Amino acid sequence: MRLLLVEDDRLLADGLSGQLEKAGFSVDTTRTAREAMALGQQEDYRVGILDLGLPDGNGLDVLRQWRMNGANFPVLILTARGDWQDKVNGLKAGADDYLAKPFQTEELIARLNAIVRRSEGRVQSSVKAGRFELDENRQTLKMDDGAEHSLTGTEFRLLRCLMSRPGQVFSKEQLMEQLYNLNESPSDNVIEAYIRRLRKLVGASTIATRRGQGYLFDDTL
């Protein structure tokens, strides 16, 4: 799941990126309002973390611009400001949640997963599709016979992307965007390799290939 982290504190951003990646997110990081404005409108993010106090602008202006230009991914505002008016202004500008510094990383990740679930119309911390259930907290796949399988970080991100929107065709390019950040350069056949591995768990027909289009998760089988 692709995440945009907008935070000008380098140490905080680097530490958060590592924790977020362990939690199953693919993280792009920027420290400026200008770059955040462009990335939020150009890339396909599933969720964003936005600091209000940026060196070259106000995070609220970034958020307003995103919303005006149709960038509708859920956003959690992260800031050192604790005044209630900042919270109100952030929510009015289109934020989905608010967390003041200092904070616990576990709470941040829990809040991120919650707003993503709401954006997908879910209430539980698992993704269910057909006979399968993906546990977001433990990064495991539960089968209909009760058996559970642990997943690698990449396997988990790929399966979550497919299972969160069953029946939707994802091209290789779309899947690559959700699995890797802008600084990574995986080989062209990496998606095929991971699809083969996941098919050994869920069955070849469950992750179907649409020739010339991409892959979809069939939850009707």
> Domain holding 149: CATH number?
1.10.10.10
* Whether residues 196 and 172 fall in one domain: yes
CB 111 within 8 A of CB 90: no
* Whether residues 8 and 109 fall in one domain: yes
* Whether residues 104 and 30 fall in one domain: yes
- pLDDT-derived band at 82 (thresholds 50, 70, 90) equals low
* Whether residues 6 and 107 fall in one domain: yes
* Whether residues 98 and 54 fall in one domain: yes
pLDDT digits (tens, 9 = 90+) for 128-138: 999 999 998 89
Domain that holds residue 153: 126-217
* Whether residues 90 and 196 fall in one domain: no
Q: Which of 29-33, 70-74, 85-89 has the lowest mean pLDDT?
A: 85-89
CB 31 within 8 A of CB 8: yes
pLDDT digits (tens, 9 = 90+) for 14-60: 999 999 999 999 999 999 999 999 999 999 999 999 998 899 999 99
Q: Where are the alpha helices (DSSP H) in 23-134?
A: 33-42, 59-68, 84-92, 105-119
